[in-house]
Chains A and B, each alone.
Chain A
Amino acid sequence: LSGMGARAASSRSHANVKYGGTVVLDNVGGALWTCGLNPYNGANNFITLGFTYETLVYDDALNGKIQPWLASGYSWSNGNKTLTFTIRKGVTWNDGKPFTAADVVYTFRLLRRNPALDGNGDWQVLKSVSRHGNNVVMNFKKVAVPDFYYVAGQTYIVPQHIWSKIKNPVTYIDSKPVSTGPMVVSKCDQQDIIMMRNPHYWQKGKPYIKELRAPAFLDNGPGNQYLAQGKANWGCQYIPNVNTYYVQGNSNRHWYYAPGSDVDLYPNNSVFPTNIKAVREAISLAIDRRRVSQLGVYGYLPPADQSGIVLPTYSSWYDRSLAKHYNYSYNPSKAIKLLESAGFKRGAGGIFQKNGKKLSLTILGVAGFSDWVAELQQIQNELKAVGINATVSNLSGDTQLSDIQSGHYQLAYYFTGGGPSPYYEMHYVLDSGLTAPIGSTATGDYERWRNSATDSLLNRYAQTTSSATQHAIINELQGIMLKNVPVIPVLEGVSWYQYDTTQLVGWPTRSNEYVNPGCNTPDQEIILLHLHLK
């Protein structure tokens, strides 16, 4: 056995903890609740995952630390092609039925039967899942160690005795989940979801709090107001000028935003002018990321690093010397020099051009994201300042995504996907396995970066469980990011997180960041388990 935490989840003494209290979770869903809590397809499941359905392990996205959860242990074997879980004993479903390895196997087979439910793509890497007594054995098609995060950390286990009776699990609404988690949904209507403490929860004595309530918000505005009025004690959204609006000098109100994955400018690597490396470098140098952040979101999103490493979250993976060598800090004059040395000449209005082609491009943004609109406006101005004529086109979210996926763009502002190590983001933005020719849908690598060295690095990473090898590979990938600038990280996305200690304590804090803060799934369960009355 390897990589196993010694103890089951934190089990400190409950002696001096007061029970009771209500958590009011202010997580804007942009819709009224319809109580679709199906863990695989429910529109509202984000509010309950973790609290209700649980995963085999808890894989912390901030530091990659793995805690055993419904599985009390796991091991890799067969050249990392076989993964064996030992299923925890003494866990029961909240209807009192015991939880067994059969439920786990059932869950995975359910996903295989219904690709519509397999949102993590488990069966793109899995070959088979079978039960051996109290163990569950998974065979992989190919070595894919990083997929452990999805298979073990993001796949929610459902009860066989309930789900096997459901005719169509894809359209199963599941408004009262039978699950293993610490809370039980007691009421759900369009305005409120209320969860009560699960008395049968497998972590004895937990949770401490009695009730969790999540009102529905159509929009950030009312959600923020609710929070600011002190009606909710756990918030998960962007609040403009949070100190004025929310904290208001109240020492019980806090916020801190932990960076997770970058927001990038994707330069289309196969069209002019973003196929020119110098142009991409110049863009990266021309952007004053701090100011962009300041304008868009009051500086709450930290400026991103061209290496693609989210700091300080993954600082242990960061190659400082390499970054220093390439030095992508804000430097417009260097950007201009680069363009000049690449053969561009200043033309009308100070815009560079080469062979009669103007250095002008369109940036795709999203009209609905006001912060992006503001940020792109700033970026557009900064690019103009170095002689790049950028115009912003703000589209609807899905149109933008569709254009990005099909490669019909020059420069686009979009998210990246993350995971418990920088690998996940690197994989998302650089793996040519995810890309597609222009006109077809890419599921990652939207900029169409095709480089065999990169691909083999990513491949090698997927095969190893050795931390040292992983670090070495990530270092090399940072080199590629800095040297070739396939994508341009601009800001680091954060998990929005506000909390109120008037009644409840035990929140993760900047200094005690025991879990990825915010409202991530299933991470929010860990926070809940820590909360108790003052």
Chain B
Amino acid sequence: MAVIIRRVEFFLITLWAAVTINFILPRMMPGNPAEAMMAHFQGRLNPAALHALEVAFGVNTKETIWQQYVQYLGDIVHFKFGISLSNFPVPVMHVVMQALPWTLTLAGVTTVISFLLGTLIGMIAAWRRGGIADNLMPPVFVIISALPYFWLGLICIYVFAVTLHWLPSGFGYDEGGNINLSWTFIHQAITHAILPALTIIVTSIGGWILTMRNNMIGTLSEDYVRMARAKGLHPMRIMIQYAGRNAILPNITGFAMALGFVVSGLLLTEIVFTYPGVGYLFLQAVAAEDYPLMQALFLFVTIAVLAAVLLADVANALLDPRIRAR
């Protein structure tokens, strides 16, 4: 119980802090969205448009910063995020909702795959200490994890899309495709996700392998594993139920955090692959000083991370009875 209260407390404090930082940051940036829009059109707009834009965006508002803050908090509580300036006059929610499923799916699937695969490899490497898997996999993937993933993406596009024509180089689905739940669409979505997913998985798996291996080596020397051997249990059971399950516990929170982070961390991948997710929206929002969009995105990502962490706590409690008791 206390754990949950402490978690909720943390959740609220962090949320408030993030929301506030979120409010302050864009306002500290110089310039204003109207000028950003003018700059975006690279001189193609009539100079008179600046005035129109300022009126439309409400740039020269007379409200004090405190009034704005209170207004802002109120809006957030009611889930009102206003209109995206860089996508004027489309509401922020619409812009975000259009992009969110893509990112969530890609991020979710890749992170889960990378975590599961990494954990499995780490587990086996530690179990067969000094074996081929142990001598090869961890160092190789640790090195790969040092690759800049966006660069890897560029190279992948060049090799697999441009040169070999095996896979599409970008977008979430084929040109002219319709978004629905048909097999054609799902097939398209998968084909288009292969390259971005691959770059993420390959560069993130090393961390999981290493931490799992290290944890597992720790648990393997625990007395309860020796005890399991003494009991004459099947080796698979010892590896999974005794060593593995205890070794995975410290990784769960990390996994949740990673799950939350990729939502924003996909940014470079999405740019490189023209993937229709929220990552790119961030960059766009910042470039256009689109406060409402930026704020909404920040909020969503923070909530995503926090929610993931909360979920991890639940998962931890399910897997680790000691936490449940506290």
Contacts and interface: CB of A to CB of B under 8 A. Distances in A.
A–B contact, 8 Å CB criterion (strictly below): yes
B90 A213 contact: no
Contacts of B176: 192, 194, 213
Contacts of B46: 119-121, 150, 154, 417
Interface string A27-65: 000111011101011111000000000000000000000
B271 interface: yes
B114 interface: no
Contact of B172 (A36, A191, A194, A415): A191
A171 B51 CA distance: 16
Contacts of B84: 34, 43
A382 B46 CA distance: 32
B95 interface: yes
B15 to A, nearest CB: 27
A19 interface: no
B171 A117 contact: no
Contact of A218 (B36, B47, B271): B271
A396 interface: yes
A428 to B, nearest CB: 7
A261 interface: yes
Nearest to A194: B176
Interface in B229-262: none
Given A119-B45, A414-B43, A444-B47, A31 B87 contact: yes
Interface string A227-251: 0010100000000000000000000
A396 B31 contact: yes
Contacts of B169: 222, 225
Nearest to B34: A398
B130 interface: no
Contacts of A86: none
Interface in A382-418: 396-402, 405, 414-417
A380 to B, nearest CB: 22
Contact of A217 (B45, B86, B274): B274
B266 to A, nearest CB: 13
Contacts of B281: 32
A163 to B, nearest CB: 14
Contacts, number: 153
A24 B35 CA distance: 31
A21 to B, nearest CB: 14
A118 B274 CA distance: 33
A213 B177 CA distance: 12
A428 B271 CA distance: 36
A4 B98 CA distance: 47
Contacts of B42: 415
A373 to B, nearest CB: 15
Contacts of B90: 34-36, 43, 173
B89 A38 contact: yes
Given A218-B271, A225-B169, A443-B48, A397 B36 contact: yes
Interface stretch (B52-60, B219-227, B297-305): B52-60
Nearest to B162: A225
B284 interface: yes
A149 B276 CA distance: 38
B38 interface: yes
B171 A31 contact: no
Contacts of A439: none
Nearest to B30: A399
B7 to A, nearest CB: 36
A218 B164 CA distance: 23
A368 interface: yes
A42 B89 contact: yes
Given A171-B89, A190-B276, A402-B30, A231 B51 contact: no
A191 B49 contact: no
B88 interface: yes
Contact of B47 (A44, A399, A434): A434
Interface string B289-310: 1000000000000000000000
B271 A41 contact: no
A213 B42 CA distance: 24
A124 interface: yes
Nearest to A427: B47
B40 interface: yes
A522 interface: no
Given A115-B51, A219-B271, A434-B47, A191 B171 contact: yes
Contacts of A120: 46, 48-49
Interface in B139-185: 162, 169-173, 175-176, 179
Contacts of A415: 42-43
Contacts of B88: 36, 41-43, 171
B141 to A, nearest CB: 29
Contact of B274 (A222, A397, A443, A444): A222
B48 A121 contact: yes
A215 interface: yes
Contacts of B104: none
A191 B94 CA distance: 14
Nearest to A405: B35
B83 interface: yes
Which of A215, A222, A398: most chain B Cβ within 10 A?
A398
Q: Which of A31, A44, A171, A414 has the most CB of B within 10 A?
A: A31
Given A120-B49, A190-B276, A428-B47, A115 B55 contact: yes
B294 to A, nearest CB: 14
Given A216-B276, A401-B35, 12 more contacts: A34-B87, A115-B51, A118-B52, A120-B48, A171-B89, A173-B90, A189-B98, A219-B271, A368-B287, A397-B36, A398-B30, A405-B35
20 contacts: A30-B40, A31-B284, A32-B280, A34-B84, A34-B95, A119-B46, A120-B46, A154-B46, A170-B56, A191-B171, A194-B176, A222-B170, A225-B170, A398-B32, A399-B31, A400-B39, A401-B31, A401-B39, A443-B50, A444-B47
Q: Which 9 A-B pairs have the closest CB atoms?
A: A415-B43, A121-B48, A397-B39, A116-B56, A398-B31, A398-B36, A119-B49, A443-B47, A171-B89
Interface of A: 24, 30-32, 34-36, 38, 40-44, 115-121, 124, 150, 154, 170-173, 189-192, 194, 213, 215-219, 222, 225, 229, 231, 261, 366, 368, 396-402, 405, 414-417, 428, 434, 441, 443-444, 493
